[in-house]
Structure 1
Amino acid sequence: MAEKGKLIGIGVGPGDSELLTLKAAKILETVPVVCSPKSSKEKESIALSIVRPLLEERKDYKRLMVVEPIFPMTEDKEELNICWDRAAFLVSSYLDSGRDVAFITLGDPSIFSTFSYVQERLKEKYTVETVPGITSFTACASAINESLVEQNQVLTIVPKIDDRLDDILEYSDSVVLMKASRNTKELEQSIESKNREKKIYSVENCTQENEKVIKGFSEDKPYLTTTIVKFEE
């Protein structure tokens, strides 16, 4: 019986292909299967667009297997579980044949990553390795030329706003609003009205050719928008 392949979750960073780690690049130069989820059949995976220049340099590029399971942009847990189960089954079929699979994901595999759902389903059956990547918010801090936190300051990463917001703003020194395209005017006004000195920056399409750094909140709010709020003592 053939030895099972290894599942490798690879963080490909925020957008610039040059920000791939050396380890990620080394694996992607030889791995026989790349799994790149996308939100719909019509859209190309952003993660795949980041690594494509590297993949196209491979001598065996035409033989490389690229699989693209659909992970729709929905909050319906039942539908998502079905999609994650399908993706895990698809990946396992390649692992069972003895082929390693690189599952690529934006940023880092351990932070709000689609990889984590497949990892959880397969880690008891297969060898799983994760390769960390540069996160969007650390790349954004570089873009605005500011540190995120210093000394004993507290950094809070917020994927979605809910009724915990007031406490978050009260006890955090820096707040990163992920997926800031979801920001509402009410949310922005709530942050701006807090009686604390603060700096607010938004970065659209960080590290990409159309990167845009804004003081304050983004008006256009493209999908890849991150907002950093730095409170000052």
Structure 2
Amino acid sequence: HILERVLPEKRHLEQLIFPMTRDKKTLKKFWNEAAEKVIKIIDQGKQVAFVTIGDPFIYSTYSYLLKCVKSKRPDIPVETIPGISAMNLVASLVETPLVEGNEKLVLLPLPEDLDRLKEIFCKFDTTVLMKIGKRLRPLIAFLKKMGLENSAFFVSHAGYPDQYIAKGVSYLSEEASGYLSVLIVKRKGEV
């Protein structure tokens, strides 16, 4: 845990479990259980901090936890500190601006139907795709079919020791994983 290296020893770390599933019923159960744990600690007169990867309001579990806590106890004061979003970190790592001038940017989870990306690539100068997961290989094949294989940056595990960067998906290693990954597609030119 990153926090164990930077927090004083007297701090208590409580791990909250959030399953990797799309089943809303299961997720709500875990969000509510986590909210109850947080509220219990606050009711003991202690402060709580929830640490998340990236920005807490971009595809983050934090936003769901916050909603649950506030629905149960709207009186609890909350301070949310913005983080560095994955797309900004990735743009920094590959040294390319997300947008310039009047360019348009879109951020979205990888759609189930990859053909939906055709229209998106036409409408936006920069497309940032997240939540790629196990669909990385079909996405790469789709980008090649669209002639965009050299117009994309792929980064997985950004900021971690096992960080992986590929400028152009033609050069993506077979071991590359779609988990914790971001793909930036620039409509104009090669990367």
TM-score, normalised by the number of residues in structure 2: 0.84
Worse-matched range after superposition: 151-160 or 194-203: 194-203
Q: Is contact 1:197-1:231 (8 Å) kept?
A: no
Specify every segment of 5 or more residues in structure 2 that has no aligned partner in the other structure, as ranges. none
- Letter in structure 2 aligned against 1:169: F
What's the counterpart of residue 100 of structure 2?
Answer: 150
Q: Is contact 1:181-1:221 (8 Å) kept?
A: no
CA apart distance, 1:138: 0.9
3-state SS of the aligned residue for 2:96? coil
**Cα distance in 1 between the residues matched to 2:67 and 2:183:** 29
CA apart distance, 1:167: 2.4
Q: Is contact 2:107-2:127 (8 Å) kept?
A: yes
Q: Deviations over 1:16-46 (max 9, x none)?
A: xxxxxxxxxxxxxxxxxxxxxxxxxxxxxxx
Give the length in aligned residue pairs.
180
Q: Is contact 1:174-1:230 (8 Å) kept?
A: yes
Alignment map for 1:134-173 (pairs within 5 Å): 134-163=84-113, 164-173=116-125
What's the counterpart of residue 130 of structure 1?
Answer: 80
Specify every segment of 5 or more residues in structure 1 that has no aligned partner in the other structure, as ranges. 1-48
Q: 1:197 to 1:213 in 2, by over 3 A?
A: closer
2:14 aligned to which of 54, 64, 67: 67
1:87 aligned to which of 34, 43, 60: 34
- Letter in structure 1 aligned against 2:142: S
Moved over 4 A (4+): 195-198
Higher relative contact order (CA 8 A, sep 6+): 1
- Letter in structure 2 aligned against 1:131: I
State, as a whole percentage, how many aligned pairs show the same letter.
35
Q: Is contact 2:36-2:69 (8 Å) kept?
A: no
1:221 aligned to which of 149, 152, 176: 176
RMSD: 2.1
- Letter in structure 2 aligned against 1:188: I
- Letter in structure 1 aligned against 2:48: V
What's the counterpart of residue 177 of structure 1?
Answer: 129
TM-score, normalised by the number of residues in structure 1: 0.70
2:129 maps to 1:201: no
Q: Is contact 2:140-2:149 (8 Å) kept?
A: no
**Cα distance in 1 between the residues matched to 2:27 and 2:149:** 40
